[in-house]
C-alpha cells in the first residue's frame, strides 16, 4: 500500500512512536514561526528552558499582530522579541514587513519541510507542499530548543479537485465549499490532502488561501502537492533551489474522500457567526452593507490585490461603505505601488492599511453598531471584529470589491468579462526588513530587553492526588478561543502579561468570571462540543491557569486548545456519557480522588457531583500523562533537560 503525501513527509520526519493511525508520534520540525501576539510568551518560555541557540534549520519571529502601538506595551514586546531573536539565532521580521504566513510563503517555505508556528493559520505553508502545523507557543519553544512535536497520527481526508474555476469564482470559494460540506468540526483529527487534475489550475497563492482557511475545519493541517506550479512560484521568488516534486503514491489509501468539481462552484459567503454557515452570494445579493475589509493572511497576495485594483479602477466606492485594503507583505505593497494598482485603490476611496493582520484580529476597523461587514478573512466569530452586534460575512476579494462599489452584497459575476491576472514571472525581492541574528560567538554581547509589561509564566505545581473544587463556569457548544481569551486592540497588548490579560478571560460569556475564579482560588470549567475551536493562542489556557482552573470538562475538544491545556497542566476531561453534561451546574462542587494514580495508570476519572458519580475520560498519550503529573510542559521539559 502506498503513502499519501502527508504520510510521506511525516514518515521522513518521524523521531519517535509507531507509524500507525491513532498512535502518538513525534516529528522533527525543520522550521518555526512566531508572531508578536503569541511570540512574547513563546520566547519567555524558550529563554526559561536555557537552550542557548535554536536547533531548527530556520526560525523566524514576525511582528504583524500588535502593530497599533497605542501604548508602550506593544513596542516593548517588539523590542523584547527582537533582542531574543538576535541573541538566540532567530531571524526577525520587523513591523511593516508583512503578515507571518504571507511572508513565510514568499521567502522561507519549502516543499517537503515541516513547520510549526504559534498561530493557527500556519497551515498556509501547505500550499507549498509543507506539513505546516499551528500550535501553542510552548510547543514552538520546545521545537526551537530541538525537541520533537507530538501529535496523534492523523487520519487523511482526500479532496479531489476536478475541472477549473469559472470566471469570478476564486480559491476562497473552494475552501468555503469544503467548510460547507465538512463543518468547523469536520477536520478534527485529520489532515486534508488536495489532489486531482484541478490542482494544476491553481497557483501557489491560491492553494495557500485554501490551506490557510483549512484551520477553520479543525484539521491538523492541509496540504497540496509540490509540482510545476510550485516550481514556478519559487522561481519567481528566486528560491527555485529549494524545490522538490512531491505527490501521493497512486495506490495511497485515505480515510475519507471528497470530490469537488471546480467548474460547478459559484461565489460563496460565510454568514454570521461561523465560517461554515455558507450560502451562495446570489442568495444574499442586494443586502445593504456598511464595510468591506480586504486583506489578512487568507487573501492578501499580489494577485488578490491586482484583482481588487482592476474592479475598482476608475470607479468610486459607494459613499455608505467604508473600504479598507491591507496588502499581505511589503513585497506585495511595493509591487502594487510600483505598477500603479495602489493608486487605483486609493482613487476609488480605499483606506490603505499597513501590511499586518489589522482588522482580522480586531485591531482597528471595527464596524458600526449592527453594521454588516464583508471581510476576506478567515473567521467571523461573534464580537471578533470589535463590534459585538456586527454581522460579519467572509467572502472573496472579488465579491468584497464589487460590493464596495454598489453598497450592497454583489455577485462579482455581474461585472462582465474577468481579466486574466496571473502571477508575475519575477517578484520584487527586498529582504532588508528581515534582520538576521548575530553569530554564536557574538551572542553574549546581546542584551535581552524586557519592558515593565512583560511578566513571567504563571506558577505551576505537580498534579494533586485529591481535588475538591467548585464549577466556576458552564458554557455551551463551539466555544472559541475568542470567547475564552478575546483579542482586539485593548486586550492584545496584554499578551505578555498574564495577570492583566486574565482579567478579560471569558468576559465575552460572563463578565463576572475572572473575579469569581480568582476569588475561588481553584475551580473547574464545564463546556459542550468542540470546546476551544479557532486560534492557537495558548493564552486561552494560560489565563485560566493563572485564575486557578484545574480541569476543563467538556463533550469534545478542538485539537490545539486541548494540547495547550495539557501544556499548561490543566486536565482536559471529556464526559464518557455526553448526557452527564446536564448533571453539573455552575456553582456545584466537584470532587476527585486518587487523581495522580489514575492519570499515571490510565482508566476513567470519577468525579462526584451532588452525590452522583460521573465517569470522565482522559484521552491523552503516555507522554502527556507525564506532562500532567509534572504540572505542565515547561516543568516536564526542564526536568528532562536537567537529566
Cell, residue 382: 461573534
Stated pTM of the model: 0.92
Active site residue 379: yes
Please pick, among 119, 276, 290, 482, the residue that the annotation labels catalytic.
Answer: 119
What is the distance between the alpha carbons of residues 435 and 372, in angstroms, rounded to a whole number?
40
CA dihedral 634, 636, 640, 643 (to 10 degrees): 110
pLDDT (tens digit per residue) in 225-249: 999 999 999 999 999 999 999 999 9
Whether the predicted pLDDT of 535 surpasses 90: no
Q: What are 543-555's pLDDT values in tens digits? A: 999 999 999 999 9
SS3 label, residue 257 = strand
Alpha-carbon distance 289 to 282, whole Å? 15
**Residue 492 confidence (pLDDT):** 85
Give me the phi and psi of 439, to 5 degrees please: -70, 165
How wide is the angle at C-alpha 486 spanned by C-alphas 172 and 507, nearest 5°? Answer: 135
Arithmetic mean of pLDDT, 423-436 = 97
Check if 119 is active-site.
Answer: yes
In the set 30, 36, 59, 65, the catalytic residue is 65
| Residue 152 DSSP code | E
**207, 483, 537, 559: the active-site residue:** 537
User: Rounded distance, CA 491 to CA 539, Å?
Assistant: 11
Provide the pairing of β-strand 612-617 with 24-27. unpaired
pLDDT tens digits, 558-609: 999 999 999 999 999 999 999 999 999 999 999 999 999 999 999 999 999 9
According to DSSP, the residues that pair with 34 across neighbouring strands are: 61
pLDDT at 49: 87
Q: Which strand (E) or helix (H) includes residue 150?
A: strand 149-152
- Nearest in space to 324 (alpha carbons), one of 288, 360, 286, 281: 360
Of 274, 334, 535, 536, which is the active-site residue?
535
Cβ–Cβ < 8 Å for 549, 517: yes
Task: For 499-521, write each residue's pLDDT tens digit.
Answer: 999 999 999 999 999 999 999 99
Please enumerate in sequence order all residues whose Cβ is within 8 A of that of 596, keeping only pairs 6 or more positions apart, or say none.
463, 464, 465, 629
Residues 233, 203 contacting (CB under 8 angstroms): yes
In DSSP notation, 579-609 reads: GGGGG--TT-EEEE-SHHHHHHH-SPEEEEE
Task: Assign 3-class secondary structure to 155-193.
Answer: EEEEEEEECCCCCCCCHHHHHHHHHHHHCCCCCECEEEE
Which residues are bridge partners to 256 per DSSP? 157
Res. 643 pLDDT band, cuts 50 70 90:
low
Distance of alpha carbon 199 from alpha carbon 221, whole angstroms: 17
Q: With bands split at pLDDT 50, 70 and 90, how would you rate the model's confidence at 288?
A: very high
Please, which residues bridge with residue 193 across strands?
A: 158, 223
Asked if 276 contacts 180 with a C-beta cutoff of 8 angstroms, the reply is: yes
Q: Which three cell numbers stand for residue 94?
A: 520587523
Average pLDDT of the segment spanning 342-362: 96
Provide the pLDDT for residue 99.
98
* Phi/psi at 476 (5° precision): -100, -150
- Whether residue 222 is predicted with pLDDT greater than 90 in this model: the reply is yes
Q: Which residues pair with 66 in a beta bridge?
A: none
115 has a pLDDT exceeding 70:
yes
- Would residue 375 show up in a list of annotated catalytic residues for this protein? no
Is 93 among the catalytic positions?
no
Query: CB within 8 A of 206, min separation 6: which ones?
Result: 127, 170, 171, 303
Rounded Cα distance between 204 and 245, Å, is 14
Q: What is the pLDDT of residue 22?
A: 87
pLDDT-derived band at 443 (thresholds 50, 70, 90) equals very high
Report whether pLDDT(224) > 70: yes
Do 621 and 126 contact (CB within 8 A), yes or no?
Answer: no
Beta bridge partners of 60: 33, 91
Catalytic residue among 101, 375, 379, 483: 379
Q: What is the pLDDT of residue 641?
A: 66
338 Cβ contact list (under 8 Å, min separation 6): 428
Which residue carries 464596495 as its cell?
Answer: 404
Could you give the domains of the chain?
Answer: 5-264 (3.30.499.10), 268-415 (3.30.499.10), 467-642 (3.20.19.10)
Angle between helices 137-144 and 633-642 (to 10 degrees): 20
Does the active-site annotation cover 472? Answer: no
SS3 per residue for 8-50: HHHHHCEEECCCCCCCEEEECCCEEEEEHHHHHHHHHHHHHHC
Is pLDDT of 636 > 70? yes
* Burial of 448 (C-beta count, 10 Å sphere; 0-12/13-18/19+): middle
pLDDT per position as a tens digit, 293-339: 999 999 999 999 999 999 999 999 999 999 999 999 999 999 999 99
Instruction: Output the 3-class SS for 458-506.
Output: CCCCCCCCCEEEEEEEECCCCCEHHHHCCCCCCCHHHCCCHHHHHHHCC
C-alpha cell at 516: 469569581
CB 446 within 8 A of CB 87: yes
Please determine, for residue 56, whether its predicted confidence score (pLDDT) is greater than 70.
yes
Determine whether 64 is an active site residue.
yes
Instruction: Give exposure, 483-514, as e/b (b: 16+ Cβ within 10 Å).
Output: bbbbbbbebbbbbbbbebbbebbbbbebeebb
Instruction: Find how far residue 407's CA is from the centre of its chain.
Output: 31
Q: Which of 13, 36, 59, 64 is catalytic?
A: 64
Q: What percent of the chain has a predicted confidence (pLDDT) above 90?
A: 91
Amino acid at each position: 500500500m502506498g503513502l499519501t503525501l502527508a504520510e510521506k513527509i511525516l514518515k521522513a520526519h518521524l523521531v519517535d512512536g509507531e507509524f500507525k493511525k491513532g498512535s502518538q508520534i513525534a516529528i522533527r520540525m525543520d522550521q518555526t514561526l512566531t508572531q508578536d501576539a503569541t511570540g512574547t510568551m513563546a520566547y519567555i518560555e524558550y529563554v526559561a528552558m536555557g537552550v542557548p541557540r535554536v536547533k531548527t534549520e530556520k526560525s523566524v519571529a514576525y511582528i504583524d499582530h500588535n502593530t497599533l502601538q497605542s501604548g508602550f506595551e506593544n513596542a516593548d514586546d517588539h523590542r523584547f522579541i527582537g533582542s531574543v531573536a538576535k541573541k538566540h539565532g532567530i531571524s526577525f521580521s520587523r513591523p511593516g514587513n508583512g503578515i507571518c504566513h504571507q511572508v513565510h510563503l514568499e521567502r522561507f517555505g519549502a516543499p517537503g519541510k515541516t513547520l510549526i508556528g504559534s498561530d493557527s493559520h500556519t497551515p498556509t505553508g501547505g500550499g507549498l507542499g509543507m506539513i505546516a502545523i499551528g500550535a501553542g507557543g510552548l510547543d514552538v519553544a520546545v521545537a526551537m530548543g530541538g525537541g520533537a512535536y507530538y501529535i496523534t497520527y492523523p487520519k487523511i481526508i482526500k479532496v479531489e479537485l476536478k475541472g477549473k474555476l469559472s470566471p469570478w469564482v476564486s480559491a476562497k470559494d473552494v475552501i468555503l465549499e469544503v467548510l460547507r460540506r465538512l463543518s468547523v468540526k469536520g477536520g478534527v483529527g485529520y489532515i486534508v490532502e488536495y489532489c486531482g487534475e484541478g490542482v494544476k489550475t491553481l497557483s501557489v497563492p491560491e492553494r495557500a488561501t485554501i490551506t490557510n482557511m483549512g484551520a477553520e475545519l479543525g484539521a491538523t493541517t492541509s496540504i497540496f502537492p509540490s509540482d510545476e506550479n510550485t516550481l514556478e512560484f519559487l522561481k519567481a521568488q528566486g528560491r527555485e533551489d529549494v524545490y522538490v516534486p512531491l505527490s501521493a503514491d497512486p495506490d495511497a489509501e485515505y480515510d475519507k474522500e471528497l470530490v469537488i468539481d471546480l467548474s460547478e462552484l459559484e461565489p460563496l459567503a460565510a454568514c454570521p457567526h461561523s465560517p461554515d454557515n455558507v450560502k451562495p452570494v446570489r442568495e444574499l445579493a442586494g443586502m445593504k452593507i456598511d464595510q468591506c475589509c480586504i486583506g489578512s493572511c487568507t487573501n492578501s497576495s499580489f494577485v488578490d490585490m491586482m484583482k481588487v485594483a482592476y474592479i475598482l479602477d476608475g470607479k468610486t466606492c459607494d459613499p455608505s461603505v467604508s473600504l479598507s485594503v491591507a496588502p499581505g507583505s511589503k513585497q506585495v505593497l511595493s509591487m502594487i505601488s510600483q505598477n500603479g494598482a495602489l493608486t487605483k485603490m486609493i482613487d476609488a476611496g480605499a483606506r490603505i492599511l499597513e501590511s499586518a493582520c489589522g482588522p482580522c484580529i480586531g485591531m482597528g476597523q471595527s464596524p458600526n453598531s449592527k453594521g454588516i461587514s464583508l471581510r476576506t478573512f478567515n473567521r467571523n466569530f461573534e464580537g471578533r471584529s470589535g463590534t459585538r452586534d456586527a454581522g460579519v460575512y467572509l467572502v472573496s476579494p472579488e465579491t468584497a470589491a464589487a460590493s464596495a462599489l454598489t453598497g450592497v452584497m454583489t455577485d462579482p459575476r455581474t461585472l462582465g468579462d474577468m481579466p486574466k491576472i496571473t502571477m508575475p514571472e519575477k517578484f520584487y525581492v527586498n529582504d532588508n526588513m528581515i534582520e538576521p541574528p548575530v553569530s554564536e560567538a557574538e551572542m553574549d554581547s546581546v542584551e535581552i530587553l524586557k519592558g515593565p509589561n512583560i511578566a513571567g509564566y504563571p506558577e505551576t505545581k505537580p498534579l494533586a492526588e485529591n481535588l475538591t473544587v467548585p464549577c466556576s463556569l458552564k458554557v455551551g457548544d463551539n466555544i472559541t478561543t475568542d470567547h475564552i481569551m478575546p483579542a482586539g486592540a485593548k486586550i492584545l497588548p496584554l499578551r505578555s502579561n498574564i495577570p492583566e490579560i486574565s482579567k478579560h478571560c471569558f468576559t465575552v460569556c460572563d463578565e463576572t468570571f475572572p473575579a469569581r475564579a480568582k476569588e475561588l482560588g481553584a475551580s473547574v470549567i464545564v463546556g459542550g462540543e468542540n470546546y476551544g475551536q479557532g486560534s492557537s493562542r495558548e493564552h486561552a489556557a494560560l489565563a485560566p491557569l493563572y485564575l486557578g482552573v484545574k480541569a476543563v470538562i467538556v463533550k469534545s475538544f478542538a485539537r490545539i486548545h486541548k494540547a495547550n491545556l495539557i501544556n499548561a497542566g490543566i486536565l482536559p476531561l471529556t464526559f464518557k456519557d455526553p448526557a452527564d453534561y446536564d448533571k453539573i451546574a455552575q456553582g456545584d462542587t466537584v470532587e476527585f480522588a486518587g487523581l495522580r494514580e489514575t492519570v499515571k495508570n490510565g482508566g476513567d476519572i470519577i468525579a462526584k457531583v451532588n452525590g452522583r458519580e460521573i465517569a470522565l475520560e482522559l484521552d491523552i498519550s503516555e507522554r502527556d500523562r507525564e506532562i500532567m503529573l509534572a504540572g505542565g510542559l515547561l516543568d516536564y521539559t526542564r526536568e528532562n533537560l536537567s537529566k
